[in-house]
A and B are shown apart, each in its own frame.
Chain A
Amino acid sequence: MFITFLMACGADSLLYKENPIRAMDMHLHVGIWNQIPDATQTDLATRFPFPFGLEPESLTDQVLTGEGIINELDKAFLESGFMYAVYAPRSVGVATNEYVISQLKSNPDRLFGMASLQVDDWENQKDVQLDALAMALEESGMIGVKIAHPHQHFRMDDPDFFEIYSVAAEFNAPVYVHTGPSPFINTNADAPYTDPAYLEMAISSNPDTEFILGHLGYDFINKKHLYLDTCIDLAQTYPNVWLEPSAMGSSGSDPEGTNLAKAFKDIKSADLVEKTIYGSDGPQRPGFAKDYAERALVAMEAANYSFAEAQMVMAENAEQLFFREPQQ
């Protein structure tokens, strides 16, 4: 592993077992700093190395755009990235579908978007929001849906929201779901909002919708696995369930580097490598996308993934799910 790391230092591509490996990052964020709640701004600023956290807006505005994402992809030797819209005004903030669509234009060959929708006033705004979601998914490059129950404060088992999954299925748009307690302020950590077991009703009643269980149910508050087994059980049981290990393996969430390796090991033991898609949840800070990709490769090597298995995780599975064909 150390030799692999040393070789990566002078490489011009990502390497796995000394061979160049293709990679896509299916979980990246864009946005505008002042559309993030104050408390979340503070939380994010603490993650930047000193002195960037003192005046984070100047830094984030460079990174949280389509151009900034392309720079991060280039530094990380990643072929493409998926940028997420977010509608979580109480917690992590808002990055509208329109903003994501505008950022796709900076490099439509390498940037793709995951749409979202506002659920705060669902009783009165349901049809409006579902129509807006459909309109967003009609845009070229918008290829999926992202929702986060703990950030958006709605239960995973609430059937009132299941039409989201129907709309997604109409557009063949996989739905990325945040699982596990979130580290951000003003999020709901209770089980119905974070435990993917509560999503089973939605998964089983929407067999035409592909569900991606993001973060593998990781408990970011206590920095430990919480619902990994549930995620694996669901992926084994249902053909329309996929797994994604973003953020949980970062130096902040997994300082010892053991949690990400365990996740990959359990995934392989459960014969679910072909249903696992790489994402980082970057850019978080300059260089994060590269750092996380390297950490994921080290973790897969620790879990004895073959080159072919690692290639599936890093690019081919996402291509199969989102594009039905290789993108290279």
Chain B
Amino acid sequence: MSLLLWLANAFASAVVGATKEWSVLTQVGAPWKQVRVHAPLNSTFNIVGEYQLAKTTRHQFFIGLNQLYVDRKWRLTGDVFAGTIKQIGELSQQGAAGELRLRAGRTTGKATPWVSLGTHHLLLRDRTVIERESGIETTVTPKHVWSLTGAVGIEVGFRDNWGVVVGLDLPWIPVPAPSIPGAHVGVTWSAK
């Protein structure tokens, strides 16, 4: 019974967006780890800061604007993000990145399902070096890498302002190659 009292009605928080208070999501998983902070501007818009880490080598820093579209039994929000990716190791790369994302989640109930879909764009510069007997020729060309991001999961609320999140990550990085799915668990918190 006491556990049920703890399980307050969960509501879509930093997972789905359009929060009315400062909200934080922290999650760990394979391969993704993430911290997301929502700062409400008004009843429709949030400023969002997000840091994502894949394995130990791919760092993504985003800042964005989250907008509320629908807020009934289900909440639907959209994000526009801009930032950078820095990837180290054998596939080292660095460039500007952006993402348009839709997030949806149920707003009532003990355990609320959620889903997220996004179109992600990374701008890189490819350097090609051709060595000939006559000399070395170097060309730099821009390269656009398009990926699709996606995740689905459940959030379970505790007390009034805490939640536990579990989710599956299902990206395509880059399109058209589907990536190995990931999974994560996380904690959400909102200021009262």
Contacts and interface: CB of A to CB of B under 8 A. Distances in A.
A83 B55 CA distance: 31
Contacts of B54: 50-51, 54
Contact of A49 (B56, B57, B177): B177
Contacts of A38: 90
Interface stretch (A20-28, A39-47, A111-119, A302-310): A39-47
Interface residues of A, number: 15
Contacts of A183: none
Contacts of B58: 51, 54
Interface string A45-78: 1100111111111000000000000000000000
B180 interface: yes
Considering residues A49, A50, A52, which has the most beta carbons from chain B within 10 angstroms of its beta carbon?
A50
A44 B31 CA distance: 20
B5 interface: no
User: Which bucket holds chain B's interface residue count?
Assistant: 10 to 19
A51 B180 contact: yes
Contact of A50 (B56, B89, B90, B177): B177
A55 B55 contact: yes
A44 B89 CA distance: 13
Nearest to A58: B55
Interface of A: 38, 41-42, 44-46, 49-57
A93 to B, nearest CB: 13
Contacts of A53: 90-91
Interface of B: 31, 54-58, 87, 89-92, 171, 173-174, 177-180, 182
Contacts of B179: 49-51
Contacts of A42: 90-92
B87 A50 contact: no
Nearest to B88: A54
Contacts of B92: 42
A44 B91 CA distance: 10
30 contacts: A42-B90, A42-B91, A44-B90, A45-B90, A45-B91, A49-B178, A49-B179, A49-B180, A50-B54, A50-B171, A50-B173, A50-B174, A50-B177, A50-B179, A50-B180, A51-B54, A51-B58, A51-B180, A51-B182, A54-B31, A54-B54, A54-B55, A54-B57, A54-B87, A54-B89, A54-B91, A55-B55, A55-B56, A56-B90, A57-B90
Contacts of A49: 177-180
Nearest to A38: B90
Nearest to A44: B90
A287 to B, nearest CB: 12
Given A55-B55, A55-B56, A46 B180 contact: no
Given A50-B171, A51-B31, A51-B54, A41 B90 contact: yes
Contacts of A44: 90
Contacts of A41: 90
Contacts of B55: 51, 54-55
A120 B34 CA distance: 49
B189 to A, nearest CB: 28
A42 B126 CA distance: 13
Contacts of B177: 49-50
Given A51-B55, A54-B57, A55-B55, A46 B91 contact: yes
A51 B54 CA distance: 8
A50 B178 CA distance: 8
Contacts of B90: 38, 41-42, 44-45, 53, 56-57
| Minimum-distance CB pairs A-B, first 5 | A50-B179, A50-B173, A45-B90, A51-B31, A54-B55
Contacts of A52: 180
A42 B57 CA distance: 14
Contacts of A56: 90
A30 B58 CA distance: 28
Given A49-B178, A54-B54, 9 more contacts: A42-B91, A45-B90, A49-B179, A50-B177, A50-B180, A54-B31, A54-B58, A54-B87, A57-B90
A179 to B, nearest CB: 23
A56 B55 CA distance: 11
